[in-house]
Amino acid sequence: MSLLNNLNESQREAGKTINGPLLILAGAGSGKTRTITYRIAHMVQEMGISPYHILAVTFTNKAAKEMRERVHNLIGHEAEKIVVSTFHSFGMKMLRMYANFLGYESNFNIYDTDDQTKVVRNILKELGATVQETPKKIVSLISKLKEDGVSPEDYEKTVPSFLENYKVIIETYKKYKIELKKNNAMDFSDLLIFTNELLDNPEILEKVQDRYRYVMVDEYQDTNNIQYQIIKKIAKKHLNICVVGDEDQSIYGFRGANIQNILDFEKDYPNAKVVKLEQNYRSTDIILKAANSVIKSNKSSKGKKLWTVKEGGELLKLYMADDAIDEAYFITQKIIEGHKNGRKHSDFTVLYRTNAQSRIFEETLRRFNIPNKVFGGMQFYQRKEIKDIIAYLNVINNPRDAISLARVFNVPNRKIGDRTIEKMEEYARAHNIFLFEAIKNVDKLDRVNKATLDSLAEFAKIIDELIELAKESSVSEVFEALLSKTKYIESISPEEIEREQNIDELRTAIMELEKQFEFLTLADYLQETSLVSATDTLNESSDYVKLMTIHNSKGLEFPVVFLTGLEQEIFPGFAALADNSVLEEERRLCYVAITRAEEELYITYAKERMVYGRTSYMRPPSTFIEEIPNELVEGKRPVVETKVIEKKISTGIENFNPFKKPTNTDSKYKVGEKVVHKKFGNGIVKDIDDKAITIRFNEGEKKILLAMADRFLEQLN
């Protein structure tokens, strides 16, 4: 019996179409990963195609790992010969092999945004330039220009000369490229840009094409122009290209994703076969009908319609909150109720349009002792102690890396002043040598005291010893030696126990990778850590409420979803009101949010909300609410108002009240009742409203929030 018999009819059709171009339009929850993995297994086990010739590319480490594991479960060890990778990982492997063609050494490091910002900041300092733009903004501009294929020279020809600071930015862009190459470093954009450049080399291209005769691309709607070019070049010779995606889930236009790549696939490959996967295995019928109703307003859609055999389901719950505080309180209460009725905290997920909206949910859930975790905030590999140790490892792997080196000169504190570091950087530039070489020549610097010279000599000795150790030792051995020689743990104060715990967690992560990869090199380890995404660390077994942006939720599913902040100018955002293409992407984002829900979906919006220090009253509810039919919704439908009144709020954060109670809350306290307060002593309840209890003490009247009353008050019988 064929493996494909385990698939439904549409999935089976996609699975057996191997030769020639194939477009699989896979709706949300339609078993996309299952289809891909069975297709690969069928190719190897039943068609006799060598796994060596198969390349499968996706966007996240998590997705790649899941695909590898599923294929392995179907065909065993043969799966290990298949390259299942993210775009950046694939680019990294290509560049490790052919870096010399670009004038790089194969042990190059990858710079993250912080590293890039430091490079730009140093360049601006060197130029003696002051600009309006922050270094981070300049980094963002450079990345965009690079990904669009715009060189500094091209930019100079096209940028309007009246723009302030344009000459400084052009010069910074030029020096940035030089500086990275000098440091034997690349940024994330380079991983794709340089891979694309390598494929312009006929010799390399032929080798790659003959190796990867069957190409599969997951989430094709999210590809940008460079990724599109890379795939097109690789697949051009054999034309066995299969792309899988959903134009209705194209939500990354802001970072360069081009929806036209999937919409124009049939133009690029006129003989392409198209298979639609429309049966949904995730959500209830009610939820799918709501999603279909919203997305049908988009013109840039190929007309899929999700369906399920699971009829019915609970109606969508619509809640109109008084304000953001009330919205957070409502969601918290629903989570408490659901937990009492047997749901786990991990069954609940709160989705919002922007990261800034998370604060009030975090604070309110915390007040009620509900475990929660934000995804997309400060990630593990962005914490100071982790970045310090990774920077050390970067230097050990690639001593030319001046940015990582500058980070750890004085970590832990070696009493090396900023001026000494500047002198070494100046010396390195003047003598055209690497910064690490300058350290070894530090005795040649003017006016550097003996204590500093000794510290730098000791630092250089430690790095040299660790470089030698790394040549013949495991990553975990280098890690332990690094901690020991630098005395990093000893530098952490006893009160900072969490920092030490983070280092313990890093040790665990290294050991886990060593179990996964038998011969893990330091370069391999740094490659893996540099490509970790925001939700790769999501632990499904942990029992906490998840808080995340809708963008971070893509590809995930949850039993109960709270879709929050559905007001005009919030979701959809302000820009969507004047640009239909932006509105369509926002609608696709709403579609993604709705289709994350498996069983229950709550949609909330507020009558007033503070945004950028202003409170907007009577803000119109989102147009997306109107697009959901009445029969699918439980709760009061909004009355659409066109007028928005804005009032400046001077008190700002002081107005925050995470304990707001609904007006119908019954209090266990009564007016006239005697109570005792832990601090103020005996008192009498004077007044109770929906927010607070007023008590008259000997020293005067005090207001206590109802939600906090039980913590501070005792009733006297």
321-340 burial, b at 16+ Cβ within 10 Å, e below that, comes to bebbbbbbbbbbebbeebbe
Tell me the C-alpha distance between 399 and 183, whole Å. 8
Tell me the C-alpha distance between 492 and 473, whole Å. 26
499 assigned to active site: no
Q: Compute and round to an integer the Cα radius of gyration of the chain.
A: 29
Tell me the C-alpha distance between 289 and 305, whole Å. 9
- Which residues lie across from 56 on neighbouring strands? 84, 216
- Which residues lie across from 605 on neighbouring strands? 320
Element spanning 95, H or E: helix 87-98
Helix, strand, coil % in the chain, rounded to nearest 5:
50, 15, 35
Tell me the residue ranges of DSSP E strands in 528-632.
545-549, 558-563, 597-606, 608-611, 614-617
Q: Check if the beta carbon of residue 631 is closer than 8 Å to that of residue 604.
A: no
32 assigned to active site: yes
> For the purposes of burial, counting CB atoms within 10 Å of the CB of 541, is it exposed (0-12), middle (13-18) or buried (19 or more)?
exposed
For residue 21, which amino acid is it?
P
* Alpha-helix runs per DSSP H in 491-531: 497-516, 522-530
For the chain, give the number of residues.
717
Q: Choosing from 213, 596, 619, 660, which is the catalytic residue?
A: 596
Closest alpha carbon to 13 in 46, 38, 44:
38
Tell me the C-alpha distance between 405 and 464, whole Å. 13
For residue 468, which amino acid is it?
E
Q: Choosing from 12, 32, 213, 289, which is the catalytic residue?
A: 32
3-state secondary structure labels for all residues of 646-708? EEECCCHHHHCCCCCCCCCCCCCCCCCCEEEECCCEEEEEEEECCCEEEEEECCEEEEEEHHH
Tell me the C-alpha distance between 428 and 425, whole Å. 5
Q: Check if the beta carbon of residue 609 is closer than 8 Å to that of residue 616.
A: yes
- Which residues lie across from 695 on neighbouring strands? 685, 702
Question: What single-letter DSSP state applies at residue 45?
Answer: I
Q: Residue 492: left if φ>0, alpha if ψ -120 to 50, beta else—which one?
A: beta
Q: Choosing from 179, 187, 190, 219, which is the catalytic residue?
A: 219
604 assigned to active site: no
Which phi and psi (to 5°) does residue 164 adopt? -65, 140
Q: Check if the beta carbon of residue 307 is closer than 8 Å to that of residue 280.
A: yes
Q: Choosing from 249, 364, 420, 486, which is the catalytic residue?
A: 249
Closest alpha carbon to 627 in 321, 316, 297, 320:
297
219 assigned to active site: yes
Closest alpha carbon to 38 in 222, 244, 283:
244
670 assigned to active site: no
Tell me the C-alpha distance between 453 and 631, whole Å. 77
Helix 475-486 and helix 497-516, axial crossing angle in degrees, nearest 10: 160
3-state DSSP call for residue 76? helix
Written as six digits, the tokens of 190 are: 């380079």
- Which residues lie across from 633 on neighbouring strands? 316
> Which residues are tagged catalytic?
32-33, 218-219, 249, 596
